[in-house]
Chains A and B, each alone.
Chain A
Amino acid sequence: MNTLKILLRNLVRGPSTVPFPFAPAWTPERMRGRIEFKLSSCTGCRACEQVCAPGAIRFDKTPEGLRFMMWHNTCVFCGLCEFYCPTDAIRNGNDWHMAHAVGEKYGMAIRETIPYVACTACGMKALASAPNPAGVKPPFTPEEIEQQRNLCPACRKKALAERGVQP
């Protein structure tokens, strides 16, 4: 009897499946999908490379700067890089439409380079990465981030000391 009741109810309710690919499938906001990388926020700390479980993330030193490389087909969508990133430069977006032709497989990667610049204070060659926000109070303003980006590590330290730690 119970089963008949359920069968009837299901008939009235209609299908509970999604008609994908003929209609869009429901995707929650937090779903961990394709990796999104924001170069301007990356501090070059390489935490994501160290925690990446399948080894999908790699940093290489090139003549132009520090190259960030991430392979979508190696990624397991665990979200560790997002969790340990100090500036939210890397995150899992909720895009899961990643089927592609075999010919496109080498394009399924993110390759971006943090360039070298000359330090605006001392002229030394330095990496134009975003400053690490850990322990900085009050937090950096967008102007300060741009200012820090163009300094070498020693001059960044000096600028931070001049700024002072405010309670």
Chain B
Amino acid sequence: MSNFTIPVGPLHVALEEPMYFRIDVQGETVEHVNITAGHVHRGVEYLITKRNVFQNVVLTERICSLCSNSHPQAYSMAIEQIAGIKVPPRAEYLRAIADEIKRVASHLFNVGILAHLVGFESMFMHVMEVRERMQDIKETIFGNRMDIGANTIGGVRYDIDPASIGYLREQLDALLPDVEEIIKIYNTDASILRRTKGIGVLSYDEAIDCGVIGPVARAAGVNYDVRVKAPYAAYDRLEVPVHTLKDGDVWSRAMIRLMEARTAIDLIRQCLDTLPGGPTVATEERPAIPPGEAIAKCEAPRGELIYYVRMTDSPKPERVKWRVPSFPNWDALGIMLKKAKVSDIAIIVNSIDPCISCTER
């Protein structure tokens, strides 16, 4: 068998996002992986210093479509910390609801793509159809399918009345059996199990070494979830179970995502049951933001998202820096892809749910 180098990407490795791998193979087996990043660098960190704090809520939302609620949420939390704004309790619950709705949609999307990469197209279509219910919820309650625009400095920009609570409950009741069914299929279907069990393994020790987070870490047995370790929004008042598995393979990561999607449905219901009354924003007018710096973090669908914001006397931030979950996770790809078969590369890359536009911004 001869050695040669194959290019994978930058287009269409798993998701339609550019990521370029130069892979040295020995026959069919991956020997070495070289990841080249930077294809979707748009200079968002620079742009953010050219816009005022309120415009940036929208700019951060558009960094990435699947985590489009987590970015403005962490950003708003950091600004609120600088300005000393206390978010009203109703807004905290509404933030948790928005977060969980996005999580269900994001996780189902990734699990659907997995079926597509396995070659199980009808399953892919089915998962996307189930996910469509979440998209309808977002469009009906927030007004957009992806950029839901839930957050603002000091609270949330949407409110739910009894009619939309009824609609949301009805949709969740219809969604849950479908998600249960998908979980059952991923647990038992031979073609999915054959392609995902024991593929792209990341052990507990390697997960700790690479500092992976989110579902990738939890699938390797690392019990870490920002919603539990450092609760934000209403999560300190909710019962949040953290799912972990031991194997750390592609299948475990898909299962963690499916179980979290099911848990998210339960969390939305918990929020709706105990939703307090009152205002949805701390101040009606645009609050003044004093100079200062702050760090805030939240659990995006892909893991821990950290925001650092520094304000001076100007209405525009002096520096905004964020650490996205895909950054430590894609470092672990080197370990996961080692000794993998060429045909499994796309499945393994997809299993960390890479978000290139967040990472390269």
Contacts and interface: CB of A to CB of B under 8 A. Distances in A.
A79 B142 CA distance: 10
A78 B151 CA distance: 11
A135 to B, nearest CB: 10
A78 B132 contact: no
Interface in A111-133: none
A50 B185 contact: no
A16 B61 contact: no
B132 A80 contact: no
A71 to B, nearest CB: 16
A59 interface: no
B59 A53 contact: yes
Contact of A76 (B52, B58, B122, B286): B58
B122 A16 contact: no
A6 B126 contact: yes
A28 B137 CA distance: 10
Given A30-B142, A92-B143, A16 B152 contact: no
Contact of A80 (B57, B122, B184, B189): B57
Nearest to B185: A2
Given A2-B189, A16-B132, A51-B286, A80 B123 contact: no
A79 B149 CA distance: 8
B157 A79 contact: yes
Interface in A55-88: 76-80, 83-84
Interface string B255-291: 0000000000000000000000000000011100000
Contact of A83 (B122, B141, B152): B152
Contact of B144 (A7, A31, A134): A31
Contacts of A77: 144, 147
Interface residues of B, number: 34
A16 B129 contact: yes
B214 to A, nearest CB: 27
Contacts of A2: 181, 184-185, 188-189
Interface string A1-21: 011001100100000100000
Contacts of A16: 129, 132
B140 interface: yes
Nearest to B178: A6
A31 B54 contact: no
Contact of A78 (B51, B129, B147): B147
Given A2-B184, A50-B52, A78 B126 contact: no
Nearest to B123: A3
A20 to B, nearest CB: 14
A78 B149 CA distance: 6
A130 to B, nearest CB: 17
Given A31-B144, A76-B147, A83-B157, 8 more contacts: A2-B185, A6-B126, A28-B143, A31-B139, A51-B54, A51-B55, A53-B55, A80-B57
Interface of A: 2-3, 6-7, 10, 16, 28-32, 47, 50-53, 76-80, 83-84, 92, 134
Q: Which 9 A-B pairs have the closest CB atoms?
A: A53-B58, A32-B143, A28-B140, A78-B58, A53-B55, A51-B54, A30-B143, A2-B185, A83-B157
